[in-house]
Structure 1
Amino acid sequence: MAHQLKPSKTIHILLWVAQLVLALTFGWAALMKLFQPTATLAAMWPWAGQIPEAWVRVTGLIDLLGALGLVLPSFLRIQPKLTPVAAISIVVLMVCASIFHIARGEVAQIGANVVFAGIAAFIAWGRMNKAPIEPK
């Protein structure tokens, strides 16, 4: 029988930092999209003034769910397998956002999407394979 090594503390710390940074980023974006006037958002993100306001709010809700999913299941150790699911969902979201920007001729805008997708992929890989968190 093979002996399974315990994940290093370093990888746990790196994953938690990644989870918190991405959750804070998505949480901020969610609050902005949910509570700021569309005109304010359009000054930061031109696309926000060019699509229906309801869609902007929906993207805010999706961002909020992603932020919560990155942290709460692992922190509370209740269904922690949902953390990598949230991370994979964020990768998919960032691919869709990149396609949206490319279709609009805004290729220069996808840098953040690529970075966020990379961080989310690291979280998904780490929490599924390298350092999963056990439920209570």
Structure 2
Amino acid sequence: MNVALWIIAGLLALAFLGAGLMKLSQPKEKLAASGLAWTEDFSAGAVKGIGALELLAAIGLVLPAALGIVPALTPLAAAGLVIVMIGAAVTHARRKEYQGIVINAVLLVLAAVVAWGRFGPYSF
């Protein structure tokens, strides 16, 4: 199970690293035009804040445990992603973007598995 948790955490980290960097590096208007229509409902600062949270969570999923420096941050990062995905699902539900909710639900479940495993029976 430890290997499975590492794989899930790594995949989540890659996904959120890409998503966070994209939100941090591109203007809100370009993000909205490229398929992230939900950004129209948020200020540019809020979009950058979400990107920063995603980037920090991606780093927190892997780096603390890999380096052995405060590995308790790994399950906290996963729990933070669960909260971010709940917010994302609510946003997509308000906009009636049901495909987005499915993606959010999958990411939420994966993050919850990492949080459960690293807080509980497979902690560092």
CA-atom RMSD, angstroms?
1.3
Distance 2:28 2:75 in 1: 32
TM-superposed deviation, 1:18: 0.5
Verify the 8 A CA contact 2:38 2:91 in the aligned structure 1.
no
TM-superposed deviation, 1:15: 0.7
1:89 aligns with 2:89: no
Deviating above 6 A after TM superposition, structure 1's stretches of 4 or more consecutive aligned residues are none
TM-superposed deviation, 1:12: 1.4
TM-superposed deviation, 1:29: 0.4
5+ long unaligned stretches in structure 1: 1-10
How many percent identity over aligned positions?
40
TM-superposed deviation, 1:101: 1.5
Specify the alignment match of 1:17 in structure 2: 7
Specify the alignment match of 2:57 in structure 1: 66
Distance 2:48 2:95 in 1: 20
Can you list the C-alpha shifts for 1:49-95, whole angstroms capped at 9, x where unaligned?
Answer: 34211111111101111111111111111111111111111111111
Q: Which amino acid aligns with 2:106?
A: V
Q: Which has the larger radius of gyration?
A: 1
Q: Which amino acid aligns with 2:5?
A: L
Specify the alignment match of 1:5 in structure 2: none
Tell me the number of residue pairs that the alignment of Structure 1 and Structure 2 aligns. 123
Can you list the C-alpha shifts for 1:12-61, whole angstroms capped at 9, x where unaligned?
Answer: 11111101100010000011000023233112211123421111111110
Q: Secondary structure at 1:31's aligned position in 2?
A: helix
* TM-score in terms of structure 2 length: 0.92
Verify the 8 A CA contact 1:87 1:123 in the aligned structure 2.
yes
Verify the 8 A CA contact 1:41 1:49 in the aligned structure 2.
no
Match of 1:127 among 113, 118, 121: 118
Q: Which amino acid aligns with 1:109?
A: G
1:38 aligns with 2:24: no
Distance 1:66 1:59 in 2: 11
Q: Secondary structure at 1:91's aligned position in 2?
A: helix
